Structure 1
Amino acid sequence: MEAIRIDPQRRIGQREIQGVTKMTDRLMDLYSEFGGRYARPMAAAFLVNTVAPNLKANASDENRKAMLSAAAFLSYLTGWMAVDEGAHGRAQQYYVKSLELAGVGSDRMTYCHVLRGMSVQAANLGHGTPAVRLANAAAESSPDSTPRMRAFLTGQQAHAYALAGEKVNAFNSLREAERAVNQAESRPETFGGFNSATLAYITAQVRNALGDTKGSIESLNEHFPLRDSTDKQLTKLLFSSFLAERQLKIGHLEAACTTWNSILDEYPAIHSGRIDAQLAKVPSLLSPYRLNSTAQITVERSRELLLPK
């Protein structure tokens, strides 16, 4: 990026930078509401057609760094959307490009977010050891020691440690995340991002990774009432699918079917590879209960709704 050829006919300022950040916010909203398959093509087109030319334009040092930072975060978000599509190799390409842009722009905050995002990707794929390495790298590179950021990072460390079988480290990180959330939420200013609802979800994931299915269900049941207007439809459906599987695992068939049907009610508007993959498991998971009418209705609904959109 430092050696990129500058277009002398093009110049950018604060207006162009604000355009990228505002568009990124809108793309995030679309992704959160409708899924990665819906929003990522728009994000990718915006990166290629608008953001890339901006990176070649004349600008002051301050504006150039700001544009690099905006481009880095958009690339990170596009990678996050690709994960939701199930395109993990493509997601890694976006993540690596985001790290490059953030590095050149001296944007340690985005750099830290990307490393954490890569840890989340590894954790979701069940790779505990790489998830730990990336989560620790994110914590080490963080320029911000506010309670909110500490919770954001240590929560991911807890999940990664649990997947790697490091129980003591997992619970130590979880307690640290809890302390940070309590500290942040006790302050008078507005608190967003990682909050009590997120902590309950992370606790559920830690418990599940360590084999405590009942405890995981308890934590997920604590999570949903804590959600507020900042929490998005996509995560609600994804986390609900985890709940349904764990309810079935401990023998609560009726509860699991109720949860799955609540997801299926909202599913038609969603374009998410992760949600598709979760719901595609329903027929096989319920196959031992084919004589149960509630289970059979749930299976039929899932098969009907999972037809190509």
Structure 2
Amino acid sequence: MDLGHTRAALDLATASVERERYARAAPRERALIGIVRARALALDGRRSSAVAAIRQAEADLDRASTDGDEPKRVWFFQEASLAHETARTLWALGDLDGALHHFRDSVRRREAGSFSRTHAVTLGYMGTVQAGQGNVDAACRTWSRALDAMDGVQSGRAREAAVTMRTVLSPFRHRGIPSASEVDARARVVLQRVV
């Protein structure tokens, strides 16, 4: 999906929910697979199917075990992860208010110290949504938090978030808006050190 191969992503995600392995998977695994499919559906323009897939992923995660009786490969997929992916799905559907709500929920629920890269990226996406709503001041506050969280993080997605900040802020670069100038300068510094 992130490489722009929407049709192939949807085919793979759909195949993953149609196989016997999915039916035997633990609820947390089904939630992860399901929310990935939801985003693929959204990117393919299938709104009602994407929303139904979100609901199913939520239901699956609600049934997930909290006693460690699930595969270790999916331990990371918690409520914060589901909120992050739900936000990305709603964003792809053009529902900026819904996306912002779920990004905020993800930030609130995530253990920022344990998942600093994901936390920084989530804040980066959240700022971009706020800018898309025309709220550049809120976006700059959120991006400032994202840049704080990027300290010590080496990540392509963090780099992409910093590039997006600079791109979105480019029309404001010479307008004398202090928050925009500050975030732009900080993002430039991050881009010099984040690989």
Q: Is the structural similarity TM-score above 0.5?
A: yes
1:56-67 maps to which residues of 2 (within 5 A)? none
Deviation at 1:178, TM superposition (A): 1.0
Aligned counterpart in structure 1 of residue 152 of structure 2, from 254, 265, 269: 269
| Native 8 Å contact 1:148 1:193 kept in 2 | no
SS in 1 for 2:29: helix
Q: From the superposition, tell whether residues 220 and 279 of structure 1 become closer, same or farther in structure 2 (CA, over 3 Å).
A: same
Q: Which residue of 174, 177, 191 corresponds with 1:306?
A: 191
| 1:160 and 2:45 are equivalent in the alignment | no
Q: 1:231 to 1:207 in 2, by over 3 A?
A: farther
AA aligned to 2:49 is N
Deviations 1:132-189 (A, max 9, x none): 11112223342633211211111111111111111121111111111111111xx552
Determine which of 128, 133, 136 is the counterpart of 2:6: 128
What amino acid does structure 1 have at the position aligned with 2:85? I
Task: From 124, 133, 141, give the equivalent of 1:258.
Answer: 141
Does the 8 A contact of 2:90 with 2:96 survive in 1? Answer: yes
Aligned-partner Cα distance in 2 for 1:137–1:304? 42
Q: Is the Cα–Cα contact under 8 Å of residues 121 and 158 in structure 2 kept in the other structure? A: yes
Change (3 A) 1:304 1:145: closer
Alignment of 1:158-197 (within 5 A): 158-184=38-64, 187=65, 189-190=67-68, 192-197=75-80
Would you say 1:199 and 2:82 are equivalent positions? Answer: yes
Does the 8 Å contact 2:162/2:190 carry over to 1?
Answer: no
Q: Which runs of 4+ in 1 moved over 4 A?
A: none
**In structure 2, what is the equivalent of residue 140 of structure 1?**
18
Are the structure 2 counterparts of residues 230 and 296 from structure 1 closer, same or farther at C-alpha, using a change threshold of 3 Å? closer
Structure 1 vs Structure 2 CA RMSD: 2.1
Q: Secondary structure at the match of 2:45?
A: coil
Q: Which residue of 1 aligns with 2:107?
A: 224
> 2: CA distance between counterparts of 1:283 and 1:188?
41
- Give distance in 1, aligned partners of 2:55 and 2:113: 24
Larger Rg, first or second structure (1 or 2): 1
With normalisation by structure 1, the TM-score equals: 0.55
**1:114-145: CA deviations, max 9, x gaps?**
xxxxxxxxx12233211111112223342633
Kindly provide the amino acid, as one letter, of the partner of residue 252 in structure 1.
N
Aligned twin of 1:44: none
Task: Provide the residue aligned with 1:281 in structure 2.
Answer: 164
Where 2:192 maps in the other structure, the secondary structure is coil
**Equivalent residue of 2:11, what SS?**
helix
Q: Percent identity?
A: 30
Give CA deviations for 1:1-30 in whole Å, capped at 9, x if unaligned: xxxxxxxxxxxxxxxxxxxxxxxxxxxxxx
Answer whether contact 1:161 1:167 (CA < 8 A) is retained: yes
> Secondary structure in 2 aligned to 1:124?
coil
8 Å CA contact 2:117–2:150 kept in 1: the answer is: no
The letter of the residue matching 1:243 is M
What whole-Å deviation, never above 9, does each CA across 1:80-106 have from its counterpart, x for those lacking one? Answer: xxxxxxxxxxxxxxxxxxxxxxxxxxx
Cα separation, 2, equivalents of 1:289 and 1:218: 26
> Is the 1:128–1:162 contact (alpha carbons within 8 Å) kept by the matching residues of 2?
no
